Amino acid sequence: MEGFDNIVSVNWLQANLEQPNLIVLDATIARVAGSQSNPEEQQIPNARFFDIKKDFSDVMAEFPSTIPSEQQFEQSARDLGIHKDSFIVVYDSKGIYSSPRAWWLFKTFGHANVAVLDGGLPEWKAHHFKTEFCQDNIKLTGDFKAKYNPSNVVYFESLDAIGKDSEFKIIDARSNDRFTSKVSEPRAGLRSGTIPSSVNLPYTALLEGNTFRSIKDWQSLFSGLAKSNQQLVFTCGSGITASVLSLAATILGYSNSVYDGSWTEYGTLTTETMEHPNKWSKDELLAYILLFIAHSDLDESKSEKEYILSRVDKSVYQRVHEKFEEDNDYQSIQNIVEAVKTHDYYRNDLADLFADIKLMAFADGEMDQMEKLAYNTLKKILK
């Protein structure tokens, strides 16, 4: 179909809406933080509801949005009247949020002809194109055939090895505040944190309003985080917005996959133990380094504590402080060395880190001799 690609515009869809083998799917889901699915109850004409949370997830799995079996996906797609030769356009009512998850699922189950509608329903309505009230799906019969592609998916058991392999780069699509534990996870009972060795690229950084930014902008974002020959592994809260990054990476030519369980699974299956520095988050490492400076003169002042608490969450500070008090100077240095190996620090990151270290040293008014010694030690470790 002429003009059909991984992303299509609302103008393209309007012009091709009556094509006999084109199927439009509404892949809207509610955001975790609370807003309801498509509150206007409107849809693009003849759209069929692609129920990510029910029909296209393993509802018996422990974690939300778990990828379904090949058999479940095939049958659910057939029930929507999808055929092997169907051209599929997916959208959602948020603009760009859950529709790339539907795109990724079709790609993972072997269907090439699927595209995301740039801007989704908001962009469609902004162009004053026709809408209709949402309707319940009528069970149809398609001949869709699923063929699972395991290279598109990463599972929990593989993460430790991937994190230690320089051929891979783990990229987290959550907001920076969630990634750095500055805010709590929206799911009740789920701890904050990050997967070791992961870096952050919020999915919203790929957007401008409801639509995608330019390919040039994407290239700039990705080239700052990964090498062109690295295999990218995307994660988020539960595998939904990681698919936004997967879509962009695919268009840019990166080999990539999605960690299906994402932070919901990882944060549940791992503990907050500080016994293994190679599993510390960047915030935990920062807190430990700042404590190393603060205690270099054997006395953590009130102003030094306040500075650390201005940089990391109180729960992180308390957890790291307990660990720091157990360690002697030699152990502290070894812990920092091991933890630093876990995280890739680029030039700007290092500059920010040393700025924090200097501010820590001057938090109580001056940098004394012991703090200078500790600072120079860190310069050797972190260079």
Contacts of 81 (CB under 8 A, 6+ apart): 23, 48, 140, 141, 142
Catalytic residue selected from 10, 23, 236, 361: 236
Provide the token pair at 379.
Answer: 């310069």
What is the rounded distance in angstroms from the CA atom of residue 209 to the CA atom of residue 191? 30
Partner residues linked to 171 by β-bridges: 199, 234
Strands 168-172, 199-200: pairing kind = parallel
Q: What angle do CA 187, 99, 50 make, to 5 degrees?
A: 90
Contact 242, 105 (CB under 8 A): no
Of 382, 352, 357, 383, the closest CA to residue 372 belongs to 357
Of 37, 72, 70, 39, the closest CA to residue 54 belongs to 72
Q: Is 134 a catalytic residue?
A: no
Specify the DSSP element, H or E, that contains 334: helix 329-342
Catalytic residues: 236
